[in-house]
Amino acid sequence: MKKETRRTLRELGYYSTLGISIALSIFIGLFAGVYLDGRWGTHPLLTFIGLGLGIAAGFKNIAMAVKKSRKL
């Protein structure tokens, strides 16, 4: 296989997992907040904080992908 084709396939694989990575970071933050709210009885507060942290982690994943694409 040509070097350029391998590089293209590697990049395609990386960017195809980006969506899964973003969704997982949001859901992990959300579920952690829901769990902690249930455990400590602070119902909406920690859910929103966990969701916000998950969204921030998702944006960080996007920023890292953009930074990586600029290096190429």
For residue 71, pLDDT over 80 is answered with no
- Domain of 57 in residue numbering reads as 19-71
Tell me, yes or no, whether 55 lies in a domain.
Answer: yes
Total count of domains within the chain: 1
6 occurs within a structural domain: no
Query: Which tens digits make up the pLDDT trace of 6-46?
Result: 988 888 888 889 989 999 999 999 999 999 999 999 999 99
Residue 32 within any structural domain of the chain:
yes
In a domain, 1, yes or no: no
Annotate 20-68 with DSSP letters as a single string: HHHHHHHHHHHHHHHHHHHHHT-HHHHHHHHHHHHHHHHHHHHHHHHHH
Q: Per-residue pLDDT tens for 41-65? A: 999 999 999 999 999 999 999 999 8
What interhelical angle do 43-71 and 3-40 show, nearest 10? 170
Report angle CA 22, 25, 54 to the nearest 5 degrees: 110
